[in-house]
Structure 1
Amino acid sequence: MPKSPKKPSLGRGLDALLSRKDSPKVQGSAGSTEQLSEPEQEKRGVQLLPTHRVTQAAYQPRQVFEPTALAELAQSIREKGILQPLLVRPRGDGFEIVAGERRWRASQLAGVDELPVIIRDLSDREALEIAIIENLQREDLGPLEEARAYKTLMEHGLNQEGVAQAVGKGRSTVANALRLLSLPGAALQALEAGEISAGHARAILAQPEDDRLWALDQIRRRSLNVREAEALRRGRETEVPAPVKVNPPRPFKQLEVDLSRRTGTRVKITGEDKGRIELNYGSREELERLLGLLGYGDAEG
């Protein structure tokens, strides 16, 4: 089935991942819904396996399978059969799904006893790459499922650039997806549940770390769209600290004490080389007493 020109190829492509010298080249195994003729199935190495010998994918990035869509696919399988073989790899005494878990689940609902499969001996990393590519081509992965899939690839030895090349995405796309995993727990749950979008999540991450839960609360309570969430700025009162009063040095402090005792009133000296002396009085009688101490009365008399 020819590929749509609007759909870019992803990473190294499934052909490159699945091609083996001892096995035919597999095309369209990531999401194509064409029905294969028996000669074409034989050419591509399609076999029938009992359903009970096929087990769930260990590296399935997609965690959410919508029940209604599964039921519809199960009904289609009852009427038309499985149009596209599953890709599996040997695992113990059975076979593990690499691509096609949704078809496997729907087949169980439909009561199918045998599954058409293509068997390939794949490493863990190859299996994960194929599973991610299949889901990305079908646009089935949620933002956190995609981010966790990229993280798993990195745990298998790839850096961000390697992940980007493997799945045919830009490095910045991979980096932005991985950043979602640093959201606060409440925001992760909201994104997983579809309460907020990936755009909302990135707006939350743009906030200072201490304001991220506040931003999530604002988005929920006010039903903000992404643009409004990006414009959120937490208002903070600017607290101007009170000026610290620094007492200037008092070089004549002891002299002030001595004069206060001698005159019987408070004496204050300001300045050093230049300044003034202040004497306090509380009545006319006290003023006259101080003037007398200073010799003013004697000069007048």
Structure 2
Amino acid sequence: MTRKRPNRPAGLDGLLQGASALADVPTVTLLTAQLRPAAFQPRQHFDPDTLTELADSIRKQGVLQPLLVRPSGAEFEIIAGERRWRAAQQAGLTHVPVYVRDLTDEQATRAALLENLHREDLNQYEEAAATLRLVALTLGVDEDTARARMYAAARGTNTEDRTVLEDLFAAASLGSWQSFTTNKLRILKYPDAIVQAMRGGLHYSIAAVIASAPETHQAELLALALGGAGYREVKARRAELEARPTPLRVDPARVTQVGKRIGSVKWLGTLDDRAQKDLQAWLNRMPDSVRKAMNLPD
């Protein structure tokens, strides 16, 4: 018996078509001063060096790909092409070519996400954040719920979303949703220092090694990576750090005193019923890690 495929979510076709169906939209020229970035721009980091390279190219060839904008009062909001707009200003251009479209907030957000996801220079944190936001829009939920549903789909406990995710990632050319869920979704929960480093270009494979290390080692590993160390070097240094003896965090004198008391049968014989019950209850609450370290039976 063939399993019935879930209905294609309303808005998925529009999401994909709306971002690319510009063939019938005429190109016009607007003043760079008339344009402003959108609040929902997926790209947050603009590398100065690559921006300068693009500005140099624009000086020689102009803006080859028009920006996508929408009317916003007396100005126009940039849906796709903020980087080109910034580079054009840096190159001294006063006008840029644009496509003007009337888009709702949701349509504009989707178009911006898709356009940026197909740019090679989008850093990996921004790529993960944009992909999750695209999934959330498609499922019609907030991003935390979308993340939970993706993990559930990957575990096989939520089969209804699997086809939706497969359709979305295939139609938007985003690769495998399973691979994204397993390898990249966790990026969004990394510590702030690691996230900032990724926004600056740190590769997610190195970031993953650092983020999964004990918190006490992360600063040193991050500094090593930012200094130019590669994946193998960072991983090897993490292994060295984790092989060190754990710093002593207990009071040796107090432990010795407790051990002598509990080890004395004579002292145990002086305890009344209440004290013996309390001592036994205390022993029963012994943490598993301590029990295993002492080779005690469960």
- For the aligned pair, the TM-score class normalised by the smaller chain equals 0.5 to 0.7
Q: Equivalent residue for 2:274?
A: none
Change (3 A) 1:153 1:175: farther
Distance 2:29 2:214 in 1: 55
Q: Equivalent residue for 2:43?
A: 62
Change (3 A) 1:79 1:218: closer
Please state how far the C-alpha of 1:215 moved relative to its aligned partner: 4.1
Contact 2:69 2:79 (C-alpha < 8 Å) held by counterparts: yes
Q: Equivalent residue for 1:173?
A: 180
1:59-108 Cα distance to aligned partner (Å, 9 max, x none): 22223333444344334434433222111112222211111112212222
Please state how far the C-alpha of 1:52 moved relative to its aligned partner: 2.5
Q: Equivalent residue for 1:182?
A: 189
State whether structure 2 residue 210 is matched by structure 1 residue 204. Answer: yes
* 1:243-258 pair list within 5 angstroms: 243-244=259-260, 245-249=262-266
Q: Equivalent residue for 2:243?
A: 235
Distance 1:48 1:77 in 2: 15
Greater fraction of residues in helix: 2
Report which of the two structures shows the higher radius of gyration computed on alpha carbons. 1
* 1:15-54 pair list within 5 angstroms: 16-18=17-19, 25-26=21-22, 43-54=24-35
Does the residue aligned with 1:83 lie in a helix, a strand or coil? coil
1:120-143 Cα distance to aligned partner (Å, 9 max, x none): 222334333332332332211112
The AA in structure 1 aligned to 2:218 is: R
Normalized against structure 2, the TM-score is what? 0.58
Change (3 A) 1:229 1:49: same
Unaligned runs of 5+ in 1: 1-10, 20-24, 28-42, 254-301
The AA in structure 2 aligned to 1:176 is: N
1:145-182 Cα distance to aligned partner (Å, 9 max, x none): 22343455567535244788365243331563342233
Does the residue aligned with 1:52 lie in a helix, a strand or coil? helix
Does the residue aligned with 2:99 lie in a helix, a strand or coil? strand
Please state how far the C-alpha of 1:116 moved relative to its aligned partner: 2.0
* 1:135-146 pair list within 5 angstroms: 135-146=116-127
* 1:147-296 pair list within 5 angstroms: 147-150=128-131, 152-153=133-134, 157=141, 159-160=146-147, 161=150, 165=168, 167=172, 168-171=174-177, 172-174=179-181, 176-194=183-201, 196-209=202-215, 211-213=217-219, 215-216=221-222, 224-231=229-236, 232-233=238-239, 234-237=242-245, 243-244=259-260, 245-249=262-266
Q: Report the aligned-residue RMSD.
A: 3.9
May I ask how many residue pairs the two structures share in their alignment?
Answer: 221
Distance 1:66 1:107 in 2: 15
Change (3 A) 1:114 1:154: same
Distance 1:63 1:51 in 2: 20
Q: Percent identity?
A: 38
